[in-house]
Structure 1
Amino acid sequence: MADSSPLTLAKELLAILDRDEGRLQRIDNFIRGKHDDPYMPPQADDEYKLLAKRAVSNWIPLLIGTPAQALYVDGFRPGTSTSGLPEASSSTSPAWSHWQRSRMDARQAAVYRGALGFGHSFVLTEKTKKGVISKGLSAKKTAALYEDPANDDEPYAAITITSRPKGDTPGRARMFDSRYEYAVSFKSLSDLDSVRVAKGRLHGSTECPVTRFAAQVDLEGRTVGVVEPMIPLQNRINQTIFDLLVAQTYTSHEVRYATGMAPPLQMEYLDEAGNVTTDPALAVDARPKLGPDGNPMPAQINHNARRFLFAEDPDVRFGSLPAGPITPLIDSVDMSIRHLAAISQTPPHHLLGQIANLSAEALLAAETALSRKITEFQSLFGESWERVFRIAAEMEGDTAGNEDYAGEVQWRDMESRSLAQAADALGKLADQLGIPKRGLWKRVPGVTQTEYEDWEQMAEDDDSVAQLANALTRATPSVSPAPAASEVVAA
């Protein structure tokens, strides 16, 4: 950092947002269903354009939602205490109180979807009148600077836009470094000469309070989500579906034809004065009705399954042209979707809906790649949440929480299995392997942090032997050893 003045940092961060704006907007368009137009002839009419509009089949939200719906933090386990033993988490702990105060039970999903869509998202931790809270920030409005973007968790500066420029009203942004927060104004992202930075104020932390949530970071520091690599495949699917719609519209129906005969013409009736009349009783003559071009207009033929065609001329021939096949195009759509499933590590039955006659082992094998991808996201996002908890602890004056690098977030088990299966498996772990039963409570499907703590409290309340032993221990002089619980019961 040759020049780390606030003005220089603000210009550099706004330049990053200006550079990435087009790429991130293209990703956002694909997420929202605004895709590239399929190829069509230069002389395409409105009917072609309507078919192109209807050919858009947006698979991108499913690629984001499938892993995002399996990511849910429902607990935080602090690190070790001074005795070296893990501390029991509690709903009244500062870390989990901060989580609930920030309403992250519901808001965490937006952080994951943003990171999976754009490659990264951010979380800002700050002091408010309600206490220290955290909130998600969009990658389209936020940028951060790292000395080593591939390995550093802590940025040395970050900026987030709070309002875009409108007319003569400049845009507003908030910039953070390791100690201060600055108010930034600018006329446009490309006009760096218009950037102004106000005097900073302390934000309450010794680190930049903005944390990056990256779905994937390579050694060059580049972040890639699940959308950008899939854009070519999404365009291929849209093109194939467009070709299918064109074939379905123009060639999928049998065409009947007749040769050697002229079509009947529309006639108009004339009265004795030679004027056109609509009363057949006054008509004395008839002539073909002429169109705007001066040519006779053919009459419309009402032909359906109850009517048949006939002609007096023996040279007239009737026939039909067969319909064009559309099955190859349907197979091509199916193949493209399978390619999308393979490259995105999404189980094919999630996209195709074909789950008939699949055994439990086949379903498990199909979801193996997705499970591995979700595990990777949990490890990446878990480290980011742990930094958020440390920054929040520092802002709240909790020195132990700020220095807790052994804490872990606890992810809810979202694997699809019945409660009976889980109970049977947990029972076998306890009986056959000797794992303490209380240690398996967290693995019960769907159990929340609050429920788990209620179970612990109820177990302590029901443990009358331990309560009696503790009472006798407190009543016994320190010179005499406290009797064991088993001895108390025997007495």
Structure 2
Amino acid sequence: MADPTPTPLAVQLLAILGRDKERLTRIDDYLHGHHDDPYMPAMADDEYRLLAKRSVSNWTPLLVNTPAQALYVDGYRAGDEDGKGSATDLTSPQWEHWQRSRLDARQSAVYKGALTYGHSFTLTERVKGSVLTKGLSALRTAALYEDPANDDTPYCALTVTAWPSGETAGTARMWDGRSEYAVSFKSLDDADGVRVGKGKRHGASECPVTRFAASVDLEGRTVGVIEPMIPLQNRINQTIFDLLVAQTYASVKVRTVTGMAPPVQRDPETGEVVYDEQGNPIPLPINHNAKRFLFAEDPDVRFGSLDETPLGGFIESIDMSIRHLSAVAQVPPHHLLGQIANLSAEALQAAETALSRKIQEFRTAFGEAWERVFRLAAELEGADGSEDFKGEVIWRDMEQRSLAQAADALGKLREQLGIPAKGLWKRVPNVTQTELDEWDELAEDEDSVGQLASALTRATAEPASVTTDSVAVAA
């Protein structure tokens, strides 16, 4: 950091937003279907341009939504002094903060922002007496790091709250490790127009903004799942455009006839041929369709046809490009093509392997970010956990498995390996932390009832009967 004072930092952060604006805006356009036009002739007419508009087949939302729909935080396990995570407690301050911030519903937007642009942010702050966490867009937010590749705590961060409009200056909020500042600016690249207000303490010991990065290299650069796929998306659009052109202009047979002049218009009164301004006879329109046929008396007339352009090659090319997109993006082909015919469970699982590894990578990165959010929230609330570096978030198991198969597998683990039944509860498909806590309480109730029944049985048992040997008396 050349100058750690607030104004130069605000200028630098705004310059970062200006530098990345074009790239991030292009990614945002591709996400929402505003793609580059396919190649077409320079003198293309309106019909060509309409076909180009219709050729856009937007696959990028699937690249974001497919992994994002498998990312769902379902609990938090606080670390203990021995480094072992304690059981998840839904009444812990960390989880209460999660629920108060309504992050069950809002977490998806944070993941989708990070997967789309490469990174997104959250802000943890005190609002009207409560500590809340909310997401911040990468299009509006920038952060500075002393070591952007390895630091999870930014030196300072800024988010735009209103863009400049005409003579009205834009506004932003900026945070460093101690204070929050109100910032006004005329444009992202106008350093002289930046004004920074007096700072006020935000209550945390470090910058309260947390970065969620889908992928960070050793240079500190982040990349999402859309930007590398833009060339493949353009290739698909170009092939679909060529398919539409061939389908529109060359997908039907063309009937031809040579050696025969078309009938011409004649004056209904005189029967004479009617000529145009250039002196050429005006031909009559020929109503030719599938129900009509042409005939000619002149033996030199020849009828023929021009074959239609086969469309199979275009369709195969589109299919191949989508498969390339699937391989590079690590998204199973059946997610994109919708083809699930005669596939066994093992084949489906093998197809999902690459996606599962990718999702696990995202969970590791995003989990570390959520743990920092929980530490910030605990510090602002004055609760335990501000120095808890051993805690971890609990991700919901989103793999689709039948309950019968899971029950059979868990039963075998219990019988053959001796794993306690309670330790297998979390392996039940789609079980939530609330259900696990309820099961735990029910198990304790059943255990206490069973112990009471056993004690009552022992207390009310009849004393053992004493038998005596009988003595036979002879008469």
TM-score where L is the length of structure 2: 0.92
Aligned to 2:472: none
The alignment status of 1:418 with 2:427, answered yes or no, reads no
Aligned to 1:281: none
1:25 CA drift (Å)? 0.5
Partner of 2:140: 141
Counterpart in the other structure of 2:426: 442
Q: Contact conserved, 2:267 with 2:273, CA < 8 A, in 1?
A: yes
Partner of 1:184: 183
The partner residue of 1:358 within 343, 347, 360 is 343
Alpha-carbon distance in structure 1 between the residues aligned to 2:404 and 2:7: 61
1:402 counterpart SS class: coil
Deviations 1:70-122 (A, max 9, x none): 11111111111x57764322222111111111111111111111101100000
Q: Residue 441 of structure 1: CA displacement?
A: 1.7
- The yes-or-no answer on 1:115 pairing with 2:114 is yes
Matches of 1:172 and 1:294 in 2, distance apart? 73
Aligned to 1:406: 390
CA contact (8 A) 2:246 2:311 kept: yes
Q: Which amino acid aligns with 1:216?
A: S
Q: Which runs of 5+ in 2 are unaligned?
A: 460-475
C-alpha change, 1:297 and 1:129, in structure 2 (3 Å) is farther
- Distance in 2 (CA, whole Å) between partners of 1:158 and 1:445 is 40
User: 1:181/1:322 Cα in 2 relative to 1: closer, same or farther (>3 Å)?
Assistant: same
Counterpart contact for 1:144–1:157, Cα < 8 Å: yes
Counterpart for residue 265 of structure 1: 264
Distance 1:236 1:84, change over 3 A: closer
Task: Show the 5 A alignment for 1:231-242.
Answer: 231-242=230-241
Structural mapping, 1:82-481, within 5 Å:
82=81, 86-129=85-128, 131-269=130-268, 284-289=269-274, 295-398=280-383, 400-464=384-448
Change (3 A) 1:302 1:195: same
Q: What is the 5 A alignment of 1:10-89?
A: 10-80=10-80, 82=81, 86-89=85-88
Residue 299 of structure 1 aligns with an amino acid whose one-letter code is: L
Matched position secondary structure for 1:7: helix
Question: Distance between the aligned counterparts of 2:8 and 2:443, measured in 1?
Answer: 59
Decide whether the 8 Å contact of 1:265 with 1:296 is kept in 2. yes
Residues 311, 84 of structure 1: alpha-carbon distance in 2 compared, 3 angstrom cutoff? closer
Cα distance in 1 for residues equivalent to 2:160 and 2:266: 72
**CA distance in 1: counterparts of 2:160 and 2:333, whole angstroms:** 39
Cα distance in 2 for residues equivalent to 1:332 and 1:440: 47
The change in CA–CA distance for 1:209 and 1:488 in structure 2 (over 3 A counts) is farther
2: CA distance, partners of 1:201 / 1:451: 43
CA distance in 1, matches of 2:279, 2:176: 80
Deviations 1:338-397 (A, max 9, x none): 111111111111111221121111111111111100000000000000000110110100
1:332 Cα offset (Å): 1.0
* Cα distance in 2, alignment partners of residues 403 and 466 from structure 1: 42
**Relative to structure 2, which stretch is displaced further, 50-59 or 300-309?**
300-309
Q: For the residues of structure 2 that align with 1:331 and 1:396, how far apart are their CA atoms?
A: 59
422-431 or 375-384: bigger deviation: 422-431
Number of equivalent positions: 459
Alpha-carbon distance in 2 for matches of 1:443, 1:66 = 22
- Taking a change above 3 Å as real, the CA distance of residues 288 and 92 of structure 1, as seen in their structure-2 partners, is farther
Q: Distance in 2 between matches of 1:434 and 1:129?
A: 52
Letter in 2 for 1:411: W
CA distance in 1, matches of 2:30, 2:278: 48
Task: Show CA shifts across 1:424-447 (max 9, x none).
Answer: 222222222222222222222212
SS at match of 1:41: coil
Q: 1:407 to 1:268 in 2, by over 3 A?
A: farther
Structure 1: state its 5+ residue gaps: 270-283, 469-484
Quickly say closer, same or farther: Cα 1:210–1:303, change in 2 above 3 A. same
Distance in 2, Cα, partners of 1:268 & 1:78: 98
* In structure 2, distance between residues paired with 1:17 and 1:125: 21
Residues in 1 aligned to 2:278 and 2:330: alpha-carbon distance in whole angstroms:
61
Decide whether the 8 Å contact of 2:84 with 2:390 is kept in 1.
Answer: no
Q: TM-score, normalised by structure 1?
A: 0.89
CA RMSD of aligned residues (A): 2.0
Aligned residue for 2:467?
none
Distance in 2, matches of 1:462 and 1:117, equals: 49
The alignment partner of 1:401 has SS state of coil
1:7 corresponds to:
7
Preserved CA contact (<8 Å) 1:465 1:489: no
Report the Cα offset of residue 171 of structure 1: 0.6
Distance 1:290 1:427, change over 3 A: farther
Give the fraction of aligned pairs with identical amino acids, expressed as a percent: 69
Pairwise CA distance, 1:486 = 8.9
SS, match of residue 8 in structure 1: helix
| Residues in 2 aligned to 1:488 and 1:88: alpha-carbon distance in whole angstroms | 33
Q: Secondary structure at the match of 2:151?
A: coil
SS at match of 2:385: helix
The letter for the 2-side match of 1:335 is M
Distance 1:293 1:346 in 2: 64
8 Å contact from structure 2 (residues 414, 421) kept in 1: yes
Which residue is 1:472 aligned to? none
CA distance in 2, matches of 1:130, 1:349: 49
Cα deviation, residue 461, structure 1: 2.7
Contact map agreement 2:400 2:429 (CA 8 A) in 1: no
Structure 2 distance, partners of 1:409, 1:293, is 84
**Contact 2:85/2:392, CA 8 A, preserved across alignment:** no
